[in-house]
C-alpha cells in the first residue's frame, strides 16, 4: 500500500497500524479476544470502558464491534495516533477521545465520567517507569467502579528463566526477519510513511517532539503488577492469558 493511497484513508491507516503491531505480536488478536471475554464475564455486554493509552483505538474498535451497547473513552497523548483514531471513528457516537498525559497527576480531570466498568490497555504502559506506573495504578483504583475490572496486556518478562528467554527471543526474531523479507512494515518504516503523508506529517512531527524515537520505560514482571494493583485497591489480581513474552493481567475492584 502506497503513502498516496493511505493519505486521508483512515480505514487504511487503522489496518496498517494493526499489521505493523502484528509483526511484533502475532498473537495480538488472541489477547484482545480474551480481554473482551473477561469484560463480558465480569461486567456484562454493555460496559462503559476507558481505553487507556488508546493509540489508534484498536481495543475500542473490537469492543464496539462486539458489544453494540458499549461506550468507550479513548485517552492518549500521541497526536498522530489520535488523528487516525478520530478520523477512523468520526461517525461513531459511542466513542470520544481525550488527549492527556498519563504522567500528569491531573489527567483524570479531563475525562467525561468519574467511574468506569472497565479500564483496558495493551502494549502501552511499558512506556512508563515503574514509579510512574505505580502512581497510575493508584489513580485507576479510583476510576474503576466496585466490581469493575482493569486489564493490562503488556510485556512482562520473567528474568528467572534466562535460557528459555534466549531461545524464545532467537526464534521470534528469526520469524520476524522472514516476515520482514516478505514485506512486513516495522515501527520505524511505519512512522517514516506517516511523516511523509500530508494528513499526518504535522501530528507526526509533534509526536516525535514529545516522545523521541521511543520512550525509555520499564517492563516489570507479572508479580510486580499484581502487588502494585492490590496496593491500589483491587481485591483480586491474576493473569488470564500469557504468551512467552507477554501477559494479560486482570484486576477486579
Q: What is d(CA 195, CA 99) in angstroms, rounded to the nearest whole number?
A: 20
* Residue 189 C-alpha from the chain's centroid: 20
Instruction: Give pLDDT tens digits along the chain (253 positions).
Output: 334 345 569 999 999 999 999 999 999 999 999 999 999 999 999 999 999 999 999 999 999 999 999 999 999 999 999 999 999 999 999 999 999 999 999 999 999 999 999 999 999 999 999 999 999 999 999 999 999 999 999 999 999 999 999 999 999 999 999 999 999 999 999 999 999 999 999 999 999 999 988 778 999 999 999 999 999 999 999 999 999 999 999 999 9
Q: What is d(CA 129, CA 204) in angstroms, rounded to the nearest whole number?
A: 23
Can you read off the three cell numbers belonging to residue 115?
Answer: 467511574
Task: Answer whether 198's CB lies under 8 Å from 7's CB.
Answer: yes
Please name the residue that has the C-alpha cell 477521545.
97
Q: Where are the alpha helices (DSSP H) in 27-161?
A: 28-43, 58-66, 79-88, 130-143
Q: What values do phi and psi take at 239, rounded to 5?
A: -75, 145
- What pTM did the predictor assign? 0.95
Task: Sketch out the chain's domains with CATH numbers.
Answer: 3-252 (3.40.50.150)
Amino acid at each position: 500500500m502506497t503513502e498516496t493511497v493511505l493519505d486521508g484513508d483512515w480505514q487504511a491507516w487503522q489496518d496498517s497500524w494493526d499489521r505493523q503491531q502484528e509483526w511484533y505480536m502475532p498473537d495480538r488478536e488472541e489477547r484482545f479476544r480474551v480481554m473482551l471475554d473477561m469484560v463480558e464475564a465480569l461486567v456484562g455486554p454493555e460496559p462503559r470502558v476507558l481505553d487507556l493509552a488508546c493509540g489508534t483505538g484498536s481495543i475500542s474498535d473490537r469492543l464496539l464491534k462486539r458489544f453494540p451497547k458499549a461506550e468507550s473513552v479513548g485517552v492518549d497523548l500521541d497526536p498522530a495516533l489520535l488523528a487516525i483514531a478520530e478520523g477512523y471513528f468520526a461517525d461513531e457516537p459511542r466513542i470520544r477521545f481525550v488527549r492527556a498525559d498519563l504522567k500528569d497527576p491531573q489527567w483524570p480531570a479531563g475525562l467525561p465520567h468519574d467511574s468506569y466498568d472497565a479500564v483496558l490497555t495493551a502494549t502501552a504502559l511499558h512506556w512508563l517507569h515503574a514509579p510512574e506506573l505505580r502512581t497510575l495504578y493508584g489513580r485507576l483504583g479510583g476510576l474503576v467502579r466496585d466490581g469493575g475490572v482493569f486489564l493490562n496486556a503488556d510485556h512482562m518478562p520473567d528474568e528467572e528463566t534466562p535460557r528459555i528467554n534466549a531461545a524464545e527471543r532467537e526464534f521470534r526474531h528469526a520469524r520476524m526477519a522472514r516476515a520482514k523479507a516478505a514485506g512486513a512494515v516495522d515501527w520505524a518504516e511505519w512512522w517514516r510513511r506517516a511523516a511523509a503523508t500530508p494528513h499526518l506529517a504535522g501530528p507526526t512531527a509533534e509526536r516525535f517532539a514529545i516522545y523521541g524515537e521511543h520512550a525509555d520505560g520499564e517492563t516489570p514482571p507479572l508479580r510486580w503488577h499484581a502487588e502494585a494493583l492490590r496496593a491500589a485497591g483491587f481485591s483480586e489480581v491474576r493473569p488470564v492469558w500469557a504468551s512467552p513474552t507477554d501477559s494479560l493481567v486482570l484486576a477486579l475492584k
